[in-house]
Chains A and B, each alone.
Chain A
Amino acid sequence: MNLSDFTHSAYIAGLLGGLLIGIAAALFVLLNGRIAGISGILAGLLQADKGDKTWRVLFLLGMAAAPYVYQIASDLPPVTIEAGTAQLIIAGLLVGLGTSYASGCTSGHGVCGISRGSIRSIAATLTFMMAGIITVYLTRHLIGL
């Protein structure tokens, strides 16, 4: 891979997107004193005893606005969802249950938790990455889903 491949590639896009995610997480903790963890923000809406619904709804509305704001500048990048309906339903249940038990997902543990040096978040991130890698290996290379 030469340099021009790199600069025009998914690596730069990944880095730029990552920096933006980091800026978002930084703004949230510095101004609101909170972790920008998407699973936690969603789960908090389902718990009747959590009185702080307004900022959660606004955060999610901001996320929901993102594809429309992006489209002002450019077409949305193509999205390919290979999983079928049954697979998506099972995966969704596992992600909902798993992130609830683990108190976080890729954003809360993977970005915010590792950024603040939390041992729990480092362990969680290593665990879900390994589980994801093994799952893809089994489904793609052994079963052929």
Chain B
Amino acid sequence: MLNLNAFVVGLLFGLGLIISGMTDPSKVIGFLDLAGAWDPSLAFVMGGAILVGAGAFTVAKKRQRSLLGAPMQLSSATELDKGLLIGSLIFGIGWGLSGFCPGPAVVSAAAGQPKAWIFVASMLAGMALYVMIDRRGK
């Protein structure tokens, strides 16, 4: 049941990304381009998602287990550490350079965009690099 729901959620998430316009990097860059012909429409994507999400997470936060009995795995961290802020800075630079963040890149790669494959391969290499560095640090 949990695995089936993971598939359904992935599918709905992917459809949401396509419908919203998030899978078009030139549109994402248009959203980030405040000094150019700014396209604010993508602000509605995060707005719409948080509108629904806020209700669900309010319920989820009060529970120890999910409706299907799985443990509720929400982070309890509150510290604004260097990793969070510098990591987000690095991510934002990559996002602005390409117009891709992880979800839309996966959907576009699956749709057969060769340039999205290049991005996804490189992103996975970046994630693997982190795992290697992280392991050495321990």
Which residues of A line the B interface, CB within 8 A?
A: 9-11, 13-36, 38-39, 42-43, 46-47, 54-56, 58-70, 76-83, 85, 87-103, 105-107, 109-112, 114-120, 123-125, 127-137, 139-141
Contact = CB atoms under 8 A, between A and B. Distances in A.
A59 B98 contact: no
A31 to B, nearest CB: 5
Contacts of B99: 81-83
B132 to A, nearest CB: 10
Contact of A98 (B8, B93, B109, B118): B93
15 contacts: A18-B51, A23-B12, A25-B9, A25-B56, A29-B66, A33-B60, A33-B70, A43-B127, A43-B130, A63-B13, A64-B109, A80-B26, A91-B119, A109-B88, A115-B53
B126 A62 contact: no
B15 A14 contact: no
A91 B66 contact: no
B20 A14 contact: yes
Q: Which 6 A-B pairs have the closest CB atoms?
A: A96-B126, A17-B20, A131-B92, A62-B10, A18-B48, A66-B14
Contacts of B103: 38, 63, 105-107
B116 A81 contact: yes
Interface residues of B, number: 115
The B interface is mostly helix, strand or loop, or mixed, namely: helix
A92 B123 contact: yes
A141 to B, nearest CB: 5
Nearest to A17: B20
A107 B97 contact: no
A36 B49 CA distance: 12
Contact of A61 (B7, B66, B83): B7
Which residue among A76, A96, A105 has the maximum number of chain B CB atoms within 10 Å of its CB? A96
A16 B20 contact: yes
A27 B20 contact: no
Contact of B113 (A34, A55, A79): A79
A13 to B, nearest CB: 6
Nearest to B57: A116
A22 B125 contact: no
Interface in B57-87: 57-61, 65-68, 70-75, 77-80, 83-87
A139 B50 CA distance: 30
